[in-house]
Structure 1
Amino acid sequence: MSDLLKITAGPFTFDARFERAAAPKTCAAFESRMPYVSKVVHVRWSGEGVWIPLGDYSFGVDYENHTSYPAPGQFILYPGGLSETEILLAYGGVRFASKVGQLAGSHFITITSNLDKLPELGRLALWEGAQAIRFEKA
């Protein structure tokens, strides 16, 4: 079972890895749904990030390795509860929040290449709208 991923977001391709040691259940739940295809939009309250809003969808996991301050290139999964389920990718400074206030999500994937392209992805989502995203095994 490889921890390596290829993520295509908008016109950009990134190498990434699962954070399996810190978030094993979240990684397993997400991996079982791969290849995972969706769209990212710019965040509303959290700062410099893009997110995949998932409504009441459940990955069947709880918090592991959770943070409110993901670093650029870190994906977090919010399992739902106070706000809707979502996946967020930080491209700059993020304080993860929703209309109900500060939240925490499980850091489960880290981008390992082309980090300099993340702000461009953020600008595209902000000014041009939703961008396609695909997670697959490397």
Structure 2
Amino acid sequence: MADKPTIKITAGPYTFLAKFEAAAPETSTVFLSMLPYRQKLIHVRWSGEALWIPLGEQKFGLGFENHTAHPAAGQILFYPGGFSETEILFCYGNVAFASKMGPLAANHFLTIVEGGENLRALGELVLWHGAQDVTFEVTNPQT
């Protein structure tokens, strides 16, 4: 997805760079329109080693594309809603994406390409010390 910029993610004391996934063009376009985006990361309730940003009942007109229920560390997913609330999932380890309704799948639209060595530290920081600020913003593609 050469036409999409690199995304700088500042989460707690850590910085990551992420690239959009070519297989999720609609999700990537919607997310790009939200930038810069500031929120809090909290630890997931059901899914394992992941952080999330609940978006409640917000609707973005997205369907499923490049969706998975078992993302890898460094993958960022967008769940467009339906069986559970709309959310962004930030994976730092083993994940089986689910809600109290059962297994879910979400759109894998961003992948961490720099800073991945700090994913576990961020996850454990949120787990043991609570919500952390997160900012997603466009960065210069040459950084």
- Which bin holds the TM-score, normalised by the shorter protein? over 0.9
Listed as ranges, the gaps of 5+ residues in structure 1 are none
Shift of 1:95: 0.3
The answer to whether residue 56 in structure 2 is matched with residue 52 in structure 1 is no
Counterpart-to-counterpart distance in 1, 2:64 and 2:120: 27
SS in 1 for 2:56: coil
Matches within 5 A, 1:33-72: 33-72=34-73
Deviates more, 1:25-34 or 1:55-64: 55-64
Match of 2:120, SS state, is helix
One-letter amino acid of the counterpart of residue 134, structure 2: I
Local SS of the residue matching 2:118: helix
Q: Which amino acid counterpart does residue 14 of structure 1 have in structure 2?
A: F
Amino acid at match of 1:114: G
Query: For residues 44-123 of structure 1, what are the structure 2 equivalents within 5 Å?
Result: 44-123=45-124
> Given the two structures, how large is their TM-score scaled by the length of structure 1?
0.96
Which structure 2 segments of 5+ residues have no match?
A: none
Give CA deviations for 1:54-80 in whole Å, capped at 9, x if unaligned: 110122211110000111000001000
* Superposed displacement of residue 114, structure 1: 1.4
Q: Which residue of 2 aligns with 1:4?
A: 6
Superposed CA deviations along residues 70-119 of structure 1, whole A, max 9, x for unmatched, are 11000001000100000001100000000010000000000001111001
Give distance in 2, aligned partners of 1:2 and 1:76: 17
CA contact (8 A) 1:30 1:59 kept: no
* Mapped partners of 1:110, 1:60: distance in 2: 22
Counterpart of 1:89 in 2: which secondary structure? strand
TM-score (norm 2): 0.93
Q: Distance in 2 between matches of 1:95 and 1:3?
A: 29
Q: Across the two proteins, how many residue pairs are aligned to each other?
A: 137
Superposed displacement of residue 31, structure 1: 0.3
Instruction: Decide which of 8, 15, 18 is 2:17's aligned counterpart.
Output: 15
CA distance in 2, matches of 1:47, 1:90: 9
Structure 2 CA distance, aligned partners of 1:120 and 1:32? 29
The secondary structure found in structure 2 opposite 1:2 is coil
RMSD after superposition: 0.8
Structure 1 counterpart of 2:10, which letter? Answer: T
